């Protein structure tokens, strides 16, 4: 139910909108969009460089790769699978330690090459998933 205060409140004096406000808002948004675009491009360039360095590192150690990459036998693979099914948490907890031990047994350059490739692949995949999620949100 309206009263005298409703009527007055609806008619309160207010400061006029500052001149050029909308233009300033739009300009700031344009700057923010450009900044975000440059950050994305810089990020992707950095990833490409990391992947490239990793690939170069691997290539220069190609002849040493044989015997480095662990190729399990069928029996070992089945054994691992059974352990994973029986105690998934234990297997998961042991994986980082195994990875660190394996990396430690390799040369620094090779380890770095693998690390660069892994990091660039991880962030590249994350970026791809983020883009796909945004697109699916647009559709809904």
Partner 1 sequence: MMRAGASEDDALLARARRGDEAAFEELVLRHTPRLFRLVGRMAGDDLEAEAVLQEAWLRAWQAMPRHQAGRPFFPWLARIALNVARDRWRKRAPLDFSDLGPRVEEVPDAEGLGPEPELERREALDRLARGVAELRPAYRAVIALRYEAEMSYAEMAEALGLPVNTVRTHLRRAKIELRRRLEERDAGLDG
Nearest distance from residue 47's CB to partner 1, in Å?
Answer: 22
Contact track, partner 1, 6-45, x by CB under 8 A:
x-xxxxxxxx-xx--xx-xxx-xxx-xx------------
Specify the residue, 98 or 133, whose C-beta has the smaller distance to partner 1: 133
Q: What number of chain residues touch partner 1 (CB under 8 A)?
A: 29
Specify the residue, 25 or 94, whose C-beta has the smaller distance to partner 1: 25
Q: HEC states along the chain?
A: CCCHHHHHHCCCCCCCCCCCHHHHHHHHHHHHHHHHHHHHHHHHHHHHHHHHHHHHHHHHCHHHHCCCCCCCCHHHHHHHHHHHHHCHHHHHHHHHHHHHHHHHCCCHHHHHHHHHHHHHHHHHHHHHHHHHHHHHHHHC
Output phi, psi for 18, to 5 deg.
-55, 145
- In angstroms, the CA 118 to CA 64 distance is 19
Nearest distance from residue 127's CB to partner 1, in Å?
Answer: 15
Show the tokens assigned to 18: 């500052």
For partner 1, the binding residues in 75-134 under the rule CB under 8 A are 134
Task: Return the residue of 63, 74, 75, 140 that touches partner 1, per CB under 8 A.
Answer: 140
Show the tokens assigned to 21: 């406000």
Specify the residue, 15 or 63, whose C-beta has the smaller distance to partner 1: 15
Question: Per CB under 8 A, which region of 1-9, 38-46, 64-72, 101-109 contacts partner 1?
Answer: 1-9
Q: Which residues of the chain form contacts with partner 1 (CB under 8 A)?
A: 1, 3-6, 8-15, 17-18, 21-22, 24-26, 28-30, 32-33, 134, 137-138, 140
């Amino acid at each position: 139910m309206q009263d005298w205060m409703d009527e007055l409140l609806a008619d309160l004096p207010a400061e006029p909108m500052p001149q050029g406000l909308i233009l300033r808002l739009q300009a700031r948004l344009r700057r923010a969009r450009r900044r975000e675009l440059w950050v994305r491009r810089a990020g992707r360039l950095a990833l490409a460089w990391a992947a490239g360095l990793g690939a170069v590192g691997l290539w220069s150690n190609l002849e040493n790769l044989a015997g480095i990459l662990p190729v399990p036998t069928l029996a070992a693979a089945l054994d691992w699978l059974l352990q994973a099914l029986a105690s998934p948490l234990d297997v998961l907890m042991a994986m980082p330690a195994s990875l660190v031990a394996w990396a430690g047994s390799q040369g620094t350059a090779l380890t770095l090459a693998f690390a660069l490739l892994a990091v660039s692949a991880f962030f590249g995949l994350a970026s791809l998933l983020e883009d796909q999620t945004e697109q699916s949100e647009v559709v809904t």
